[in-house]
A and B are shown apart, each in its own frame.
Chain A
């Protein structure tokens, strides 16, 4: 329990630092968002007025205080391009992003873990080489290019899967329960809709999963090979324990705990990757919203998205650390 509390305190410190960092970047860097938002024809009075409305004429400390207060009240200001409340926009787009990221994460684990075990067990055989080639390619693939590649092949050339979006415009989404179309269509017992939604999800999730899959594969292979050299494995084999049981029950369990550490790191890749994947596949999520905000220099939206993303990432990492400490009690004692 003390371990969890300490992690939570650390998380608070990081979040505070994060908010200061983003605030500093957004206020101290040159570039005039108001002027940009109003366009070149804006008069000085208009600029001054909008600046006053946004509170940009206040001292920095007051501005920061307003940002934090708004954050706790769920008020992130209005977008400078659509003039709609950002918090509402983010709430609309968040479920789509979560669905994509979680599905991609599942895909990465479901493909990466067995491949990692396989390459380690068949070390230096042809299967190992194939697996490692996959791992190297997965890490080196430019996400945006890979996205365009699968989109062109599967959607435009072969027409197997839909190229853009989350659902066909003329199809009614399932009744909203969890926010995930996939799960909601199952809840509504609409199998046809389930596969329809799934067909939209596959390509972006696959692209998003490629590089994390490769990282899981690489790390798991290394730690499985590490495990193989340990005494307990030798003992178990000498005692005639079936290899499958040994590999899957004992070694994988030990090897997996080290893999878990990078899962926190992988969240970062999923979030960063989502910005690109959602843009290429027109997936209506936070990433595409963020890229639009960036391209239109929508100051308030940029701050909100960066804050949200950073906090989600920090929180996810805390959860992983706590989980890790729960799996491996030794870690609770010492420093990280």
Chain B
């Protein structure tokens, strides 16, 4: 208890002094929370590592040429060694290089899918909640129809019919994913709509659009940030599953799911072909999960 009191005072004091110091103490609280939960820090570390791999991948890998369709039969199927830490694949490409650059494709899919899903889902959810009535009803029914197909099945069908490629994968997953953001935004906006500041805005004559996107939307940010962080992990899983089934990104792009599929024929002897890309997916998803949970603790103080 005594611990909390001075903390509260700094926040209250900040309010009087101006917004800058509020931000500072909010950051401090966030840092403090992060410091107290080592798991979130691990998550943050993994996420940063994956982002670095995704952005700088082609420049930091030991064998940049092996990322594409190079063939080097002299070095094929070598087990992990000092030269090739993760071994080499069936045509002699360095697995480590391909795993590192693979982060780029996975992150690209996740990034664009989330952007698409947020841009479609959040406005629909807010509009359905704020205006309600028949419009809200129709929007949420459409949402339910999309939710009625398991995402993997829906995405597989769209990808197969359109012919698999990176843009198709992104479009297909995004088309399935917006429903979750619409649902989340809808539920949250329903609550926020009843808050006093929304009423105040209505009284002072603000228009519907202004209230929906000027008052309600900003109050969704923290929930959205948590959801986005967690979902990046799940989108990566889905994208990899598509690649594995041959209905996602196509070879020779170094995609983790494809790499596992290609290594499958070499099991159990050349275990490194499937193990390392799989571990990369696993660790990446865990990283986003841990970070998302940590962010939830920091931002979700309302509950």
Contacts and interface: CB of A to CB of B under 8 A. Distances in A.
B122 to A, nearest CB: 21
B233 interface: yes
Contact of B233 (A140, A273, A299): A140
Interface stretch (B77-85, B111-119, B241-249): B241-249
A277 to B, nearest CB: 11
Contacts of B151: 268, 272
Contact of B268 (A139, A144, A156): A156
B74 interface: no
Given A140-B285, A140-B289, A271-B153, A157 B268 contact: yes
Contacts of B153: 271-272, 275, 290, 305-306, 309-310
Contacts of B45: none
Given A136-B289, A145-B274, A297 B233 contact: no
A313 interface: yes
Interface string B183-217: 00000000000000000000000000000000000
B241 A29 contact: no
Nearest to A139: B289
Nearest to B153: A309
B191 to A, nearest CB: 14
Given A18-B149, A142-B278, A306-B157, A295 B141 contact: no
B286 A272 contact: no
A253 B4 CA distance: 36
A309 B148 CA distance: 9
Contacts of A20: 145
Interface stretch (B21-29, B58-66, B160-168): B160-168
Given A137-B286, A140-B282, A275-B156, A29 B161 contact: yes
A142 B286 contact: no
B267 interface: yes
B73 interface: no
A185 interface: no
Interface in A11-33: 13-15, 17-18, 20-22, 25-26, 29-31
A25 B285 CA distance: 30
Nearest to A267: B150
B150 A313 contact: yes
B158 to A, nearest CB: 6
Contact of A294 (B245, B260, B274, B281): B245
Interface in B230-262: 233, 237, 240-241, 244-247, 257, 260-261
A91 interface: no
Contacts of B157: 22, 25-26, 294, 302, 306
A22 B175 CA distance: 13
Interface residues of A, number: 51
B281 to A, nearest CB: 5
A136 B286 contact: yes
Contacts of B247: 294-295
A314 interface: yes
Nearest to A276: B241
A314 B148 contact: yes
B150 A294 contact: no
Contacts of A141: 282
A14 B233 contact: no
Interface in B261-283: 261, 264, 267-268, 271, 274, 277-278, 281-282
Contacts of A306: 149, 153-154, 157
Contacts of A15: 148
B290 interface: yes
Given A25-B157, A31-B161, A148-B274, A142 B150 contact: no
Contacts of B241: 142-144, 276
A272 B155 CA distance: 10
A276 B146 CA distance: 21
Nearest to B162: A29
B197 to A, nearest CB: 25
Contacts of A314: 148
A273 B159 CA distance: 17
Given A31-B161, A140-B289, A271-B153, A21 B267 contact: no
A131 to B, nearest CB: 14
Given A271-B150, A271-B152, 16 more contacts: A15-B148, A17-B142, A17-B145, A18-B148, A21-B145, A136-B286, A140-B237, A142-B282, A144-B241, A144-B244, A144-B260, A148-B267, A271-B153, A273-B152, A294-B159, A309-B153
Shortest 8 CB-CB distances between A and B: which pairs? A272-B152, A17-B145, A145-B278, A140-B285, A268-B150, A294-B160, A310-B149, A272-B150
Interface of B: 141-142, 144-146, 148-154, 156-163, 233, 237, 240-241, 244-247, 257, 260-261, 264, 267-268, 271, 274, 277-278, 281-282, 285-286, 289-290
14 contacts: A14-B141, A14-B145, A17-B148, A31-B162, A140-B233, A140-B237, A143-B241, A144-B245, A271-B150, A275-B153, A276-B152, A291-B156, A294-B156, A294-B247
